[in-house]
Amino acid sequence: MNPSARNIIAWILQALLAAAFIMSGFSKLSHGPDTVKMFSNLGFPGWFAYFIGGAELLGGIGLLIPRTVRPAALGLIVIMIGAAVLHATKIPGGLAKGVPALVLLGLLAVVVLLRWPRKRR
């Protein structure tokens, strides 16, 4: 794939993922008490809900800044792995309801691969 096509595909994915994570993080933060209750029911301390919401919001913003794309995507991959594990083990409905997390995880991996520095030949 030529570098121009890689760049276009990466930017499209980054914009879509940024929108998804900014909305998700904002939702978690703006519905704080409900989010805290949900995380508490999963066995996490209340502050963790705000941490994840903030991390998703900042990670989404980071996907739009060229210098921070890879670290933001890698951090969000960790969050999505955690979400997938929680869906598989603790959340009613199992991994079937965790498909969005798995899709986001896969798309983040594609962004990391597309943005990984290529060796010049």
Query: What digits encode the pLDDT tens for the residues 79-109?
Result: 999 999 998 888 888 778 889 999 999 999 9
The pTM assigned to this predicted structure is 0.91
Separation CA 55–CA 60 (nearest Å)? 8
Q: Are 52 and 79 in contact (CB under 8 A)?
A: yes
Q: Give the H/E segment covering residue 107.
A: helix 99-115
CB neighbour list of residue 109: distance below 8 Å, 6 or more residues apart? 77
Q: 101 φ, ψ to 5°?
A: -65, -40
Tens of pLDDT, residue by residue over 4-24, are 899 999 999 999 999 999 999
Q: Where are the domains of the chain?
A: 3-115
Closest by Cα among 48, 47, 53 to 22: 53
